[in-house]
Each structure stands twice: as C-alpha cells, then as structure tokens.
Structure 1
Amino acid sequence: MSDLKTASPAEAAASRESAGALEAKWGKDIVAAGWTAVPNILLQRQQTLGLTPTDLNILLQLLMYWWQDGKHPYPSKKKIAESIGVSTSTVQRRIRVMEAIGFLERRYRRQEADRNLTNEYDLTPLVEYLMPHAAHEVSERQKARERRNIRQTRVAKLPSNSDVSGN
C-alpha cells in the first residue's frame, strides 16, 4: 500500500481509485480498518513453493506490516502467533525454515544496552523468488489469449449456409 503523502499525483490517484473499488466490494469501514495487497501468484503457487498453510499465514502477517518498499516489517513473533493461533515457537521455527529456503531475511535489531528489539523481516528475496513464477504465469495467459483469438478468428471466417449450398 503506498503512502499518499509521498506518492506522485498519478500514484495517489490510482491508490484512491483502488480504495474506491475496495470500498465498493468490502464496505467503507472494512477498508478504513486496513487492507493488504497480496500477489495472486503467492496464493496460486503456495504448494509449488513448498509453503505450508502456517508459512503462508506468517507471510500474510508480515505483508500486513510491509507498507512501503525499503521499510521492512518488524512485528513480534508473539503478535504473529496470537493472530494466527499458533505458538510463538511454531512461528520462530517456520520463519527459520523460510529463511533457510530463501524466502526472507531476518535482521536483528538492537537497542542501547544491547537489548533486543523485534526482528526486521526483509521480503525482497520472496519478491525475487516469485518473479519467474509470475513471468511464467503472464506468458501462459498471453498464450491462452492468443489461442482464443485464433479460435475466434476461425469461427468468424466460417462460410454461411447460403455460401455452402450455392443459393
């Protein structure tokens, strides 16, 4: 979701248009409570990517806090666990697995006196991982569109009954 204060006029207009479409679909109060943009390819390829339902749920929670490119989300594992109904250790374990696979990078944040803050999660690797899947999907859709156009062209060129019978 882009920040309208720092967006270009075109981006701000597109964002307002998107919000209007969302309001028409979901209602003003639901949209005002917040929404999250999720790439369809992440949902469509969940199994292919090897993501468990818990992994996907964790990613959705991280996406909910990822408002701007370059500003990585940093929700606590406890908050994520409470939101999706699993233990903090499950969240910790699944994040380690997704980090090992290469879907995200975890960055430790420290405060003065060497106190830990919540981790920051860089989802750039997930974006990069999804790119070829998205490109393949777009290519397949384009091929399907071209096949449909060819079929429609053939149907349009079929001779009429009067042309065939010679009447």
Structure 2
Amino acid sequence: MAVAVGTTEVAQLKVNEKKWTPTLMKAGWTVLPNVIFERQRALGLDAIDINIILHIASYWWTKEGKPFPSKRTIAAAMEIEPRTVQRRIARLEAAKLIRREQRRSAVNGSQTNVYHLDGLIEAAKPFALEKIQAREAKALERAERVARKGKPKLAIVK
C-alpha cells in the first residue's frame, strides 16, 4: 500500500539520508520519540524493554496497521530467548504500556499477537509536555536576556 508523503516528510527523509546514508535508509528505519528513551527509567523501562519496543515499532508502518512481529523474530534479532521476550512483553502489558491482541485463524489457529502501544504513548505524554515547556521557558528566558541587554555595543579596535 502506497502512503502519500508530503514535501516536509520528503525533506526530512533527505536530511536523514544525509546523516545515515541512502543505503541504510532504504533498508528501513524506525521512529521512536526521544522522550521514551530519555525518560525510560521514569517509565519503568530498561534497555531490554526499549529494544523490544523498538522492534515492535519497526513493524508499525501506519497508524491503523498495528504491528504483529513474532516473539521468536524479536528474540532472534536481540539474541535472547523467546521466553525472555514473552516475559518482558507480559510485564509491559501488566504496566499498561503495551496491549496484546490475539490473532486467530480458522485454518492456522493461533497467530502472532497484534501489539498496541497506546499505553506507552499516553504514559510518555506528560514527559513530552514537560520537555516542551522546559524548552519554551529556556527560549523565553534567552529572549528576555537578549532584550534586556540590547545589541552589543562593542567596537572594533584597530
């Protein structure tokens, strides 16, 4: 399914290609808001949890199309046991950061779970708002400082 991409998104993609190279960007990339890993301890997450979330997010391409990677796929990429991934996802679900939805098929029976990250998004929002407010306060403080001082009155000495 083709997704319409606006000019802003295309420009940002080109910036990212300059940073990461077109080859790496063509191989795939994942979006994760900075506040999630910057405030991971406050969210009750550790490095393994963040890695699992990154893997789940890497399969989330559209808002409506929720990701459904297998625990075995995640475990293989992280070089840990599938049971470890299963326990960690259960813990993330108990913390209401992830919600699992079972998928079943009449032909194949049980399939990989669909993952919803709505809980993580809601839990991270207060930290994002806090970061935005701090950034805005700092910008206002800087603007006030510049306005108080006025333009520099230095002259070139010869």
Instruction: Give the structure-1-normalised TM-score.
Output: 0.85
Q: Deviations along 1:2-50, whole A, 9 cap, x unmatched?
A: x7x342xxx4322221221111111111111011111011111011111
The answer as to 2:97 corresponding to 1:103 is yes
Bigger CA drift: 123-132 or 134-143? 123-132
- Written as runs of structure 1 = structure 2, the 5 A alignment for 1:31-42 is 31-42=25-36
1:153 shift after superposition = 1.7
The answer as to 2:135 corresponding to 1:141 is yes
Matching residue of 2:23: 29
Indicate which of 4, 11, 15 corresponds to 2:9.
Answer: 15
Indicate which of 89, 93, 112 corresponds to 2:87.
Answer: 93
Matching residue of 2:57: 63
CA–CA distance in 2 between the matches of 1:56 and 1:128? 16
Report percent identity of matched pairs.
34
CA–CA distance in 1 between the matches of 2:123 and 2:30? 20
CA–CA distance in 1 between the matches of 2:29 and 2:113? 23
SS of equivalent to 1:109? strand
Unpaired segments ≥5 residues, structure 1: 162-167
Matching residue of 1:52: 46
1:79 shift after superposition = 0.5
Matching residue of 1:165: none
Is contact 2:68–2:113 with CA below 8 Å preserved after alignment?
yes
The answer as to 2:128 corresponding to 1:128 is no
1:100 shift after superposition = 0.6
CA–CA distance in 2 between the matches of 1:157 and 1:110? 68
Runs of 4+, deviation exceeding 2 Å: none
Cα distance, 1:62–1:150 mapped onto 2, change above 3 Å: same
Cα distance, 1:157–1:113 mapped onto 2, change above 3 Å: closer
Q: Deviations along 1:37-85, whole A, 9 cap, x unmatched?
A: 1101111101111101100000000110011102110000000011112
Which has the larger helix fraction? Answer: 1
Q: How many residues align?
A: 154
Instruction: Give the structure-2-normalised TM-score.
Output: 0.90
Unpaired segments ≥5 residues, structure 2: none
CA–CA distance in 1 between the matches of 2:47 and 2:3? 35
